[in-house]
Amino acid sequence: MSEAIPGGFPLLSILIFLPVFGALAVAFVPKGRGDVARALGTAISASTLGLAVWLLIHFENGVGAMQFVEAHEWIPSLGVGYRLGVDGISVFLVALTTLMFPLALVASGHVTKRVKHYTIFMLLLEATVLGVFLANDLFLFFVFWEAMLVPMYFLIGYWGSAGRVRAAVKFFIFTAAGSAFLLAAIIGAGVIAGGDFSYAGIFGHDYTLWAQRLLFWAFTISFLVKVPTFPLHTWLPDAHTEAPTAGSVILAALLLKMGTYGLIRFSLPLFPRAAVEAVPVLLTLSVIGIIYAALVAIRQKDFKRLVAYTSVSHLGFITLGIFAITTTGLTGGVAQMINHGLTTGALFFLVGMLYERRHTRLIDDYGGIRRQVPILGGVFLFVVFASAGLPGLNGFIGEMLTLFGTIVVHRWWAITAAIGVILAAIYLLWMYQRLFLGPLDKPENEKMRDMTATDLVVLVPLMILMLVLGIYPKPMLERIEPSVHEVVVAVEAGTAGTDQAYVEPEQTSPSNPVAVVEAAEHAEAEQHAKEAAAESGGHAESGGHGDSAGSGSGHTEGGR
Amino acid sequence: MQILDSAWLIPVIPLVSAGVLALAGRRLKEPIAGWVATVAVGASFVLSFGQLIALVGRPPEARTFVRTLYEWIPAGGFRVPVSYRIDPLSVVMILLITGVGALIHLYAIGYMKGDRDFTRFFFYLNLFVGSMLVLVLADNYLLLFVGWELVGACSYLLIGFWYQSSPNATAAKKAFVVNRVGDFGFVVGLMLIFSVVGSLDYGAVFSIAPSVMTAAMATAVCLCLLVGATGKSAQIPLYVWLPDAMAGPTPVSALIHAATMVTAGVYMIARSFVLWDLSPTAQGITVAIGIITALVAAVIAIGQFNIKKVLAYSTVSQLGYMIAGVGVGGAGYAAGIFHLLAHGFFKALLFLCAGSVIVGMHHEEDMRKMGGLRTKMPITFITYTIGFLALDGIFPFAGYFSKDGILAALFEHGTWWSQVAWALGLVGAFLTATYMARQWFMVFFGKPRWDEDVHPHESPWLMTVPLIVLAIPSTLFGTAGLPGFNQLHRWLEPVFGVAGGEPELLNATTFALLLTSLVVAGSGLVVGWAIWYRATADQRATLAGRLGGVVPFVRNKLYVDEAYAATFERPGYRLTAVLGDEMDQRGIDWLVMGTGAAFKRAGAWFSKGQNGLIRAYAAVMGAGALVFVVYVLARGVSR
């Protein structure tokens, strides 16, 4: 029944099913041994991280197409298959997933009720999230997408705080309503394509403009709910506030990215004419979201709500970059998914640590605690800076790429969105000030414990990644770029010759003449330097380097 | 060219040292942490000096050296390398930053003695120096922006260094947020450049922009960048953060808020001179902003009593001159940089002297409680006097030639607005001499007005040595730019090229201008002497009475902070309250949930049940799934 697996080794399947079998194994842990269950769960999710690292190492750079493809027939008459694959858009999301789950489990030491079930749900959640990012088939994607709701619902609804049930229900209603659109759209797309539900079949089918419009919006609305994009975001602050720390982390770092991922994977390439037509609407919603959510965040008194609103604002940059439909913007959008996952994940870990210590989410109950918890204060500030997009750290790269990718095609949207840069500084630094700075005037805070070794184990890897991805993001960006460029090419091809015809401007395209010439010059300069160094045997003092002193003249020729 | 190839180490050494200090934390004890930091900056200074020598050894046209370290951001057509540029402009900047920086580090070892966060202080200070070096060495606008933002962050960290006082924390946040407002403009400027040119590399931008940028676009770009400069270099309308920034430790005020960071805007405009040359409109606006700031800040400085606040407003005012200088273009580019360097020396000196006074006075900053200190603190007094004369523009001190270079460039530009600016600049020079004379007399002369338990004393050698060293360039640096023998101008010529204009000649006009400046500064001094030394307290009170409402107006800083609070801060906060408390939870949530509820009612009507929301949903989903499964099976069977 199944064809031979290209590449031989079903790495992606193992990635998805390792946590499932892990969950089964955890189920056999005897009652009352929550510590064993959590340790086992952590080990299993850590081993998925190992697999993901192996995947990253062997992921071929410069290739836009799917890699590590696995394809088995499932319902051949409908073209539905069990197809997995990973490309530049998904590979870092997979890595992020396998990183955040073990960290979230390590940070779940404060969970004391039904630890075994908690661990099982976490592992199942990891499997479904991985499935969403790895599925290469619409139907399979939908199965994972829906299955994800169940463990998340219980994580919020059972292990959350006081208002958890209401929040869980709201989360469920919003996302399930979105899923209804998604299911309808998948069925509709397949039926119109003559009963072929495969990604290739739908991608290859030439839908009429009206069919594209209907299907595009059905897909897109379900994704926008998940992102969440203004005005569909109101479930998020509630869900975040009530979820346990690990739930908030996973929600912010990974589940929201499923929405933006769907937009890139499905909405844009499958229905390009409708997408191009919808760009002004979606950019407007993104920009409103960036500014509106930032303004609302400033006001929040509950730090988890505040961070939740920052997510809405940050995700606005991602959707902005996506719907600019430029290689630069999309690369920035994908990079920002990873960056936001790291920084906001870290922020939720940190506010979780504060909550554990003081059992209050109200910012006003803190104040001046930096003196008491200097390490926590320093780490918190580092993460706050990363989240505010300080250069040298990761958030800056994604934010700038989405803006620079947008300015070329939609000037005023990009300029308005840049206001978010100011607002981010206000809400984050004000929160930091109210929590950590000023006099320590509340006696309850005088006994606060600084970060423990476990806390550092969770935060240090994230901080290292924030720094590395800020200083040297190239390895990530150059793997993302070919795949998102294919999306742009698909939109160009799908709209060519129609009223919606779209061509990417050359500034953001990989063939940007100025950039190409400069890259060649830099490469040449490097070469010169190496040769000169080799010739002179280390004590180079020849005039040869003068050539590489690229004063204005070299650029002049290239630029014109 | 081995020495030029090693230039990347110049910012990296302080950054690595910062990293070491951050990780070591309190394990590294005072004063070792301070020495580590100082040596790191000193090493960068030595390397910077090496760059100067390497450039001098080359013919003028080959004095631009660009090196790419690695490709930083490749994303479609947006490709930004990490690359540095050594040229006559960046070399003088790195010499100033590392030279003055090293001295201030040394001074801070003494000043911060006994602080419980001694190591953290030097971590921030090193981080700042490294970031500032990135800013001036960058070979593209995005990397410049990295330095630009990082120095802002360091400024935030250092203003709020003593975070347990709420006003300090608020001042720090204010500085960062106001700077971010400027950064918004700056980022928009960069985005516009990229959208037109397709690159952010200096080489590409400067060679392509003249042929592809329309005058309107050039104006838009320059004005956006100017917004950034008004933030970082504390110009109207964004200068309000700098006086509050004096909440930071005094070495910080000297290094960041006088000598280096605040000059970033001036440097950036000089660096982007090709763009400014494309837009006479932007040049005019830049000059107007600069000269009005110079004047307004000088007026406010006269009314301040805090020793550091006077110097802060003085810095704002002097930055205004620099902005006006680089704004007018032509010979003004080099003149602006000349004043930047000279001011870097003497204003750092003045701040460090003020710090010495503050330590000597047991952390008293109010000038009304000083007086007669010249005998108690002789070294501080003499070095302060040198800085004061340099700032006043008294022959032959550094500020005399550097400020005059800007005024001459304004005068010789030949347009009506530039000559109005020149006249206003002279008024500003008069006021400068007046407020500095006021400070000099209030602090060092007259009867002691100390509190009883204060016993002023001279500072230790760690603090006085930097004062003495800085007094030397404050005195002599003017010779680098003597009219007619303007070495600095000639040195910068390869950068500003023909646009830099012919170095001014010593003719009748320039001589007349020099004389005018001197007379104006001298009369300012005399007025200051007459009011704050000669006159009695009663006479001063009578004078203040005659001036009426002007005095409280000036003392309260023209109520600018209050006006901003009323127009932006409070309405803005009210807006967030409306959005956060009403709109989001009652408006949008209600709307979206209401739509959902309407569907539910419709669903309930269809199913004729009294289901809860979840069950209704489950039913709908189940039905949908069932339909789907049936369809799938039917298709499967039919094949």
Q: For an interface test with B, which of A192, A518, A531, A556 has the most B Cβ atoms less than 10 Å from its Cβ?
A: A518
What's the pLDDT band for B147 if we cut at 50, 70, 90?
very high
Portion 613-632 of B in contact with A at CB < 8 A: 613-614, 617, 620-621, 624-625, 628, 631-632
**With 70 as the cut, is the pLDDT of residue A446 above it?**
yes
Could B204 and A555 be called an inter-chain contact, meaning their C-beta atoms sit closer than 8 Å?
A: yes
Per-residue pLDDT tens over the stretch B84-138 = 999 999 999 999 999 999 999 999 998 888 888 889 999 999 999 999 999 999 9
- The residue out of B526, B555, B584 marking a domain boundary is B555
Could B1 and A540 be called an inter-chain contact, meaning their C-beta atoms sit closer than 8 Å?
A: yes
Q: How many whole angstroms separate alpha carbon B524 and alpha carbon A432?
A: 46
What's the pLDDT band for B610 if we cut at 50, 70, 90?
very low
Domain count for chain A, please give it: 1
Domain count for chain B, please give it: 3
**With 90 as the cut, is the pLDDT of residue A127 above it?**
yes
pLDDT for res B627: 60
User: What is the distance of C-alpha B625 from the center of its chain?
Assistant: 63
Per-residue pLDDT tens over the stretch B207-250 = 888 889 999 999 999 999 999 999 999 998 899 888 888 888 88
Q: Does residue A514 lie in a domain region? A: no
> Among B500, B480, B481, B496, which Cα is nearest to B88's?
B496
Size of interface A-B (CB pairs under 8 A): 278
Q: Which residues contact B119 (CB under 8 A, 6 or more apart)?
A: B21, B24, B25, B26, B28, B29, B30, B33
Structural tokens at position B53: 């020598």
Return the residue of A nearest to B579 by Cα. A296
Structural tokens at position B182: 């400027």
* Percent of the residues in chain B that have a pLDDT greater than 70, as a whole number: 91
Q: Do residues B527 and B434 make contact, with C-beta atoms less than 8 angstroms apart?
A: yes
pLDDT for res B606: 56
Q: How many whole angstroms separate alpha carbon A385 and alpha carbon A378?
A: 11
Q: Does residue B426 lie in a domain region? A: yes
pLDDT mean across residues, chain A: 86
pLDDT for res A538: 41
pLDDT for res A335: 95
Q: Does residue A426 lie in a domain region? A: yes
What's the pLDDT band for B608 if we cut at 50, 70, 90?
low
Q: Is A71 on the interface with B (CB under 8 A)?
A: no
Question: Residue A496: phi, psi to the nearest 5?
Answer: -55, 135
Return the residue of B nearest to A415 by Cα. B188
Q: Does residue A110 lie in a domain region? A: yes
pLDDT mean across residues, chain B: 85
Q: Does residue A534 lie in a domain region? A: no
Q: Does residue B415 lie in a domain region? A: yes
Q: Does residue B213 lie in a domain region? A: no
**With 70 as the cut, is the pLDDT of residue A277 above it?**
yes
Of B153, B176, B195, the CB nearest to A407: B195
**With 90 as the cut, is the pLDDT of residue A202 above it?**
no
Could A522 and B68 be called an inter-chain contact, meaning their C-beta atoms sit closer than 8 Å?
A: yes
Q: How many whole angstroms separate alpha carbon B260 and alpha carbon B94?
A: 10
Q: How many whole angstroms separate alpha carbon B535 and alpha carbon B542?
A: 11
Residue B430 and residue B547 in one domain: yes
pLDDT for res A42: 93
Structural tokens at position A387: 């989240």
Q: Do residues B134 and B147 make contact, with C-beta atoms less than 8 angstroms apart?
A: yes
Could A515 and B67 be called an inter-chain contact, meaning their C-beta atoms sit closer than 8 Å?
A: no
Residue B364 and residue B399 in one domain: yes
End-to-end CA distance of chain B: 76
Helix, strand, coil % over all residues of chain B, rounded to 5: 80, 5, 15
Q: Which long-range contacts (CB under 8 A, 24 or more apart) does B580-583 make?
A: B580/A295, B580/A296, B580/A297, B580/A298, B580/A299, B580/A300, B581/A299, B583/A296
Portion 254-273 of A in contact with B at CB < 8 A: none
Could A508 and B176 be called an inter-chain contact, meaning their C-beta atoms sit closer than 8 Å?
A: no
Q: Is A510 on the interface with B (CB under 8 A)?
A: yes
- Residue ranges in B565-612 assigned as alpha helix (H): 570-577, 589-607
Residue B546 and residue B404 in one domain: yes
Range of lowest pLDDT (A525-529, B461-465, B549-553)? A525-529
Residue B635 and residue B600 in one domain: no
Over the range B344-371, which residues count as b (16 or more CB within 10 Å of their CB) and which as e?
Answer: bbbbbbbbbbbbbbbbbbeebbebeebb
Residue B618 and residue B528 in one domain: no
* Radius of gyration, CA atoms only, chain B: 29
Range of lowest pLDDT (A298-307, B46-55, B568-577)? B568-577
> Among B54, B73, B117, B153, which Cα is nearest to A389's?
B153
Residue B402 and residue B503 in one domain: yes
Q: How many whole angstroms separate alpha carbon A519 and alpha carbon B203?
A: 13
Query: SS3 of A472, please?
Result: coil
Tell the burial category of A104 from Cβ atoms under 10 Å away from its Cβ (0-12, 13-18, 19+): buried
**With 70 as the cut, is the pLDDT of residue A2 above it?**
no
Q: Does residue B8 lie in a domain region? A: no
**With 50 as the cut, is the pLDDT of residue A3 above it?**
no
Residue B361 and residue B345 in one domain: yes
Task: Tell me the mean pLDDT in the region B131-151.
Answer: 93
pLDDT for res B228: 93
Q: What is the DSSP string of B121-145?
A: HHHHHHHHHHHHHHHHHBSBHHHHH
What's the pLDDT band for B540 if we cut at 50, 70, 90?
confident
Which DSSP category does B366 fall into? B
What's the pLDDT band for B625 if we cut at 50, 70, 90?
low
Q: Which long-range contacts (CB under 8 A, 24 or more apart) does B412-421 make?
A: B412/B330, B412/B331, B412/B504, B412/B509, B413/B328, B413/B329, B413/B330, B413/B332, B417/B284, B417/B287, B417/B288, B418/B287, B418/B328, B421/B287, B421/B288, B421/B290, B421/B291, B421/B324, B421/B328
Q: Does residue A269 lie in a domain region? A: yes
Q: How many whole angstroms separate alpha carbon A402 and alpha carbon A340?
A: 13
Helix (H) or strand (E) holding B368: none
Choice between A128 and A2, residue whose per-residue pLDDT is larger = A128
pLDDT for res A553: 36
**With 50 as the cut, is the pLDDT of residue B636 above it?**
no
Could B208 and A559 be called an inter-chain contact, meaning their C-beta atoms sit closer than 8 Å?
A: yes
Q: For an interface test with B, which of A299, A412, A423 has the most B Cβ atoms less than 10 Å from its Cβ?
A: A299
> Among B245, B256, B235, which Cα is nearest to B318's?
B235
Q: Is B214 on the interface with A (CB under 8 A)?
A: no
pLDDT for res B428: 92
Q: Which residues of B touch A468 (CB under 8 A)?
A: none
Could B589 and A184 be called an inter-chain contact, meaning their C-beta atoms sit closer than 8 Å?
A: no
What's the pLDDT band for B609 if we cut at 50, 70, 90?
very low
What's the pLDDT band for A552 if we cut at 50, 70, 90?
very low
Residue B390 and residue B494 in one domain: yes
Question: Residue B46: phi, psi to the nearest 5?
Answer: -60, -45
Return the residue of B nearest to A521 by Cα. B68
pLDDT for res B330: 82
Task: Tell me the mean pLDDT in the region A54-65.
Answer: 90
Tell the burial category of B325 from Cβ atoms under 10 Å away from its Cβ (0-12, 13-18, 19+): buried
Residue B359 and residue B428 in one domain: yes
**With 70 as the cut, is the pLDDT of residue A541 above it?**
no
Per-residue pLDDT tens over the stretch A458-509 = 999 999 999 999 999 999 999 999 999 999 999 999 888 888 888 888 888 8
> Among B202, B179, B199, which Cα is nearest to B264's?
B179
Domain that holds residue B385: 331-555
Q: From the CA of A41, how many Å to the nearest CA of chain B?
A: 30
Residue B530 and residue B472 in one domain: yes
**With 70 as the cut, is the pLDDT of residue A530 above it?**
no
Choice between A168 and A403, residue whose per-residue pLDDT is larger = A403
Place of tokens 């400068």: B432
* Percent of the residues in chain A that have a pLDDT greater than 70, as a whole number: 91
Residue B355 and residue B394 in one domain: yes
Could A419 and B76 be called an inter-chain contact, meaning their C-beta atoms sit closer than 8 Å?
A: no
Could B2 and A405 be called an inter-chain contact, meaning their C-beta atoms sit closer than 8 Å?
A: no
Q: What is the DSSP string of A196-263?
A: --SHHHHHHS---HHHHHHHHHHHHHHHHHHTTPTTS-THHHHHHHHS-HHHHHHIIIIIHHHHHHHI
End-to-end CA distance of chain A: 59
pLDDT for res A150: 86
Q: Does residue A525 lie in a domain region? A: no
pLDDT for res B487: 81
Could B77 and A508 be called an inter-chain contact, meaning their C-beta atoms sit closer than 8 Å?
A: yes
> Among B420, B208, B462, which Cα is nearest to A558's?
B208
Q: Do residues A65 and A486 make contact, with C-beta atoms less than 8 angstroms apart?
A: yes
* Percent of the residues in chain B that have a pLDDT greater than 90, as a whole number: 36
Per-residue pLDDT tens over the stretch A315-363 = 999 999 999 999 999 999 999 999 999 999 999 999 999 998 988 889 9
Residue B449 and residue B525 in one domain: yes
Q: For an interface test with A, which of B3, B575, B584 has the most A Cβ atoms less than 10 Å from its Cβ?
A: B584
Q: Does residue B502 lie in a domain region? A: yes
Structural tokens at position A139: 């139907």
Q: Is B70 on the interface with A (CB under 8 A)?
A: yes
Structural tokens at position A110: 């404060």
* Percent of the residues in chain A that have a pLDDT greater than 90, as a whole number: 47
**With 80 as the cut, is the pLDDT of residue A228 above it?**
yes
Domain that holds residue A349: 11-493
Which DSSP category does B568 fall into? I
Question: Residue A73: phi, psi to the nearest 5?
Answer: -75, 150
Q: Do residues B195 and A408 make contact, with C-beta atoms less than 8 angstroms apart?
A: yes
Q: Is A301 on the interface with B (CB under 8 A)?
A: no
> Among B175, B177, B268, which Cα is nearest to B226's?
B268
Return the residue of B nearest to A292 by Cα. B579
Range of lowest pLDDT (B51-60, B528-537, B612-621)? B612-621
Could A195 and B635 be called an inter-chain contact, meaning their C-beta atoms sit closer than 8 Å?
A: yes
**With 70 as the cut, is the pLDDT of residue A549 above it?**
no
Three-class DSSP labels, B3-61: HHHHHHHHHHHHHHHHHHHHHHHHHCCCCHHHHHHHHHHHHHHHHHHHHHHHHHCCCHH
Could A404 and B191 be called an inter-chain contact, meaning their C-beta atoms sit closer than 8 Å?
A: yes
Portion 127-146 of A in contact with B at CB < 8 A: none
Q: Is B166 on the interface with A (CB under 8 A)?
A: yes
Q: Does residue A540 lie in a domain region? A: no
Most confident segment among A254-258, B368-372, B460-464: A254-258
Q: Is A437 on the interface with B (CB under 8 A)?
A: yes
Query: SS3 of A160, please?
Result: coil
Which DSSP category does B523 fall into? H
How many distinct helices (H) and strands (E) make up chain A?
24, 2
Q: How many whole angstroms separate alpha carbon B526 and alpha carbon A206?
A: 86
Helix, strand, coil % over all residues of chain A, rounded to 5: 75, 5, 25
In this prediction, the answer to ipTM > 0.90 reads no
Q: Does residue A518 lie in a domain region? A: no
Q: Which residues contact B250 (CB under 8 A, 6 or more apart)?
A: B111, B308, B351, B352, B354, B355, B358
Q: Which residues of B touch A78 (CB under 8 A)?
A: 632, 635-636
